[in-house]
Amino acid sequence: DAGVTQSPTHLIKTRGQQVTLRCSPKSGHDTVSWYQQALGQGPQFIFQYYEEEERQRGNFPDRFSGHQFPNYSSELNVNALLLGDSALYLCASSLLYDQETQYFGPGTRLLVL
């Protein structure tokens, strides 16, 4: 049983570019959450998707957008990249009504130059 997978593992972009990160949830899970973890900080909630809809959103600008597909996989898109977007982006999957049990993927480390 595959756990949560994310791609790519590492990414280097320049300011102003756009990036798409991908996440496949653990088998049987229907909810995907995205987090940003800057160096030396705890993960910060970006948004959560369920049934292909954004269900909840943290304090992130509209440059951050996402999508969930019918197979429950998800994408995180960031437009007009800033240096401050450099971070580890974590995806977590769960069942909607059991969010205590969130499984995290290995993350995508994004560096913006």
Partner 1 sequence: EDKVVQSPLSLVVHEGDTVTLNCSYEVTNFRSLLWYKQEKKAPTFLFMLTSSGIEKKSGRLSSILDKKELFSILNITATQTGDSAVYLCAVLRVSGNTPLVFGKGTRLSVIA
Q: Which residues bind partner 1 (CB under 8 A)?
A: 4, 33, 35, 40-45, 48, 56-59, 88, 90, 99-107, 109
Q: How far is the CB of 45 from partner 1 (least distance, A)?
A: 5
Closest C-alpha to 108, from 13, 22, 2, 41: 22
Q: How far is the CB of 110 from partner 1 (least distance, A)?
A: 13
Structure-token pair, residue 71: 């197979």
When the beta carbons of 42 and 70 are compared against partner 1, the nearer one is 42
Q: How far is the CB of 16 from partner 1 (least distance, A)?
A: 27
